[in-house]
C-alpha cells in the first residue's frame, strides 16, 4: 500500500477513534485522552495508536490499560463503518512526544540568556540598529 494511502487511513482511524472513545467506550477508567496519531504498517495488519492520557501517572496507566481492553471493541465498531478489506489490529501507545517537547523547551529556557528570551518573539530585535 502506498505511503500516501496509509497516512490517509491513519488520519481517518485517528478521527474515528477519537469519536468512538468519547461516545462508545463506557469504561470509567478511560479518563481524558487525546488520540494524537495513528501509524499503519504497510501490510495493514497493525495500527499503532498514539494517545496522550491526562491526569496523574496512575490515572494515565489506568487509562492506557482500559484502552487496551477496549481495542477489540473499537476495532469492530470502526470496521463496520469503514469499507476497507482489512481492519488493522489496534495497539495503543502513550505518546511521549509532547512531554519530550516540554522538557526540551524547559532546557532551552534555562540555557538561553535573559535578553535572548525577551527577543524570541521579535525577529528584528538583536540590538543591531543601523
Q: Determine the Cα–Cα distance for residues 21 and 12; give it in Å rounded to an integer.
A: 14
CA distance 58 to 113: 37
Q: What is the largest CA-CA distance in the chain?
A: 66
Q: Quick one: pLDDT band at residue 76, thresholds 50, 70, 90?
A: very high
What pLDDT does 93 receive?
95
Grouping H, G, I as helix, E, B as strand and the rest as coil, residue 34 is strand
Strands 46-53 and 89-94: parallel
Instruction: Report percent pLDDT > 90 for the chain.
Output: 52
Domain covering 3-114, topology: GMP Synthetase; Chain A, domain 3 (3.30.300)
Amino acid at each position: 500500500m502506498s505511503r500516501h494511502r496509509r497516512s490517509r487511513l491513519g488520519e481517518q482511524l485517528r478521527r474515528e477513534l477519537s469519536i468512538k472513545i468519547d461516545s462508545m467506550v463506557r469504561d470509567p477508567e478511560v479518563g481524558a485522552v487525546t488520540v494524537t496519531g495513528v501509524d499503519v504498517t504497510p501490510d495493514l495488519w497493525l495500527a499503532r495508536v498514539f494517545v496522550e492520557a491526562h491526569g496523574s501517572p496512575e490515572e494515565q496507566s489506568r487509562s492506557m490499560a482500559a484502552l487496551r481492553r477496549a481495542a477489540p471493541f473499537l476495532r469492530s465498531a470502526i470496521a463496520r463503518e469503514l469499507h476497507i478489506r482489512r481492519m488493522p489490529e489496534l495497539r495503543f501507545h502513550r505518546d511521549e512526544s509532547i512531554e519530550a517537547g516540554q522538557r526540551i523547551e524547559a532546557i532551552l529556557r534555562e540555557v538561553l540568556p535573559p535578553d535572548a528570551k525577551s527577543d524570541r518573539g521579535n525577529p528584528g530585535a538583536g540590538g543591531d540598529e543601523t
